[in-house]
Amino acid sequence: MTQSVTDTAPAQPGPTKTILRALAGETQAVPPVWMMRQAGRYLPEYKATRAKAGDFLSLCYTPELAAEVTLQPLRRYGFDAAILFADILLIGQALGSKLWFAEGEGPRMSTVTDRAAVAALRPAQDVHEVLAPIYETLRILTRELPRDTTLIGFAGAPWTVATYMTAGRGTPDQGPAHAFKDRDREGFSSLIDLLTEASIEYLSAQINAGAEVVKIFDSWAGSLKGADFDDFALKPAATIIAALKARHPGIPVIAFPREAGDRYIGFARATGADCVALDNSVSADWAAKNVQVDGCVQGNLAPRYLVEGGDGLISETRRIVQAFAKGPHIFNLGHGITPDANPENVHRMLEAIRG
């Protein structure tokens, strides 16, 4: 007598990697940990590889070197996750905007300020040609990562990428994007829709290349209020997450609506995100009560503690671990580690988390 495979197959085991367990909703005695911008200028080995690449964009688009800088912080610290080394603005370039990094100043782009300029961009399905080296970086990493390390892919959220594409640079108040939105809401929405579709394409290809989790960075979500937050932060995230989950059942998604304040409440439920990353403007105690009730949270040590070190670093790290101890938590910073951070302080932070 033959039995069908499904009759004899054992129940699907849960994930074994610490990050995936947290994202599946498991509370762990020691939270898994990684850091935003963990490959970056505070590390001498990063600066050396970046010098070898020549400039930041060449580093992003050279898979062997991008994989190398992704691995550097893992060798030093043994984080639970690796985040793909790339940048959120590459997708703008893949859509046809010009992108360059002014040394010591930050990103610069050609500007998209009206619907004619949006219409002149490439269709979402055409982003893969420019982004192919990014997928190759992920394929290298799937071979070279330690077995217990989770590989995270990412994209910028449509709103945040749009703020750079409209202004052509970083801005303190995202003024040009707000101006485009307020002048021609439909035209601006067409840019958000294009970026939403392109992000689905990009993240889906990252998952096919080996990303086990993806994160959506909405660094400027905090400047959207009311219906603008709904239309340009919440809905695009929900659309991207629904499409990814349809194409890749079970893929966990982390959303980072930075400085969303009260809008962190219910964000996971409204978007389908498996985890909400918290910036350090909200207190861990508040977030445990209001956000962690819906599932996993990530965060939220202020990056300045890794510059200052000392007792403040230890007590603040322990306080955050304690505040989130009753639910699923991935320890992280509230924003990227800064170039002036002391690499030794990262060891002290890990010691305070792992004991």
On whether the CB atoms of residues 91 and 161 are closer than 8 A, the answer is yes
Q: Is residue 50 among the annotated active site residues?
A: yes
Nearest Cα residue to 329 out of 349, 290, 300, 306: 300
Nearer to ligand CP3, 63 or 187 (CB): 63
| Part of the chain binding ligand CP3 (CB under 6 A), chosen from 31-39, 124-132, 184-192, 226-234 | 31-39
Note whether 39 binds ligand CP3 by CB under 6 A: yes
- The residue type at 32: P
Residue ranges of alpha helices (H) inside the chain are 5-8, 18-23, 44-53, 56-61, 63-77, 90-94, 115-119, 128-144, 158-167, 175-183, 185-208, 226-229, 235-247, 267-271, 284-290, 305-308, 310-323, 343-354
What is the nearest approach in angstroms of ligand CP3 to the Cβ of residue 56? Answer: 4
Q: Which of 50, 202, 218, 294 is catalytic?
A: 50
Note whether 37 binds ligand CP3 by CB under 6 A: yes
On whether the CB atoms of residues 274 and 292 are closer than 8 A, the answer is no
Q: Is residue 37 among the annotated active site residues?
A: yes
- Residue 272 DSSP code: T
Q: Is residue 164 among the annotated active site residues?
A: yes
Contacts with ligand CP3 in 334-353 (CB under 6 A)?
Answer: 336
Contacts with ligand CP3 in 165-224 (CB under 6 A)?
Answer: 170, 217, 219
Q: In this chain, which of 38, 196, 206, 345 binds ligand CP3, going by CB under 6 A? A: 38
Nearer to ligand CP3, 177 or 288 (CB): 177
Q: Is residue 264 among the annotated active site residues?
A: no
Q: In this chain, which of 25, 44, 78, 106 binds ligand CP3, going by CB under 6 A? A: 106
Nearest Cα residue to 221 out of 265, 258, 172: 258
Nearer to ligand CP3, 93 or 323 (CB): 93
On whether the CB atoms of residues 329 and 292 are closer than 8 A, the answer is yes
Enumerate residues 6+ apart whose C-beta is below 8 A from 317: 301, 305, 331, 349, 352, 353
| Part of the chain binding ligand CP3 (CB under 6 A), chosen from 33-41, 113-121, 193-201, 317-325 | 33-41
Q: Which of 87, 218, 274, 294 is catalytic?
A: 87
| Part of the chain binding ligand CP3 (CB under 6 A), chosen from 79-87, 176-184, 221-229, 238-246 | 79-87
Nearest Cα residue to 151 out of 93, 198, 194, 212: 212
Nearer to ligand CP3, 307 or 314 (CB): 307
| CA–CA separation, 141 and 210 (whole Å) | 8
Footprint of ligand CP3 on this chain (CB under 6 A)?
36-41, 50, 56, 83, 85-89, 106-107, 154, 156, 170, 217, 219, 336
Q: Write out the catalytic residue numbers.
A: 37, 41, 50, 87, 164
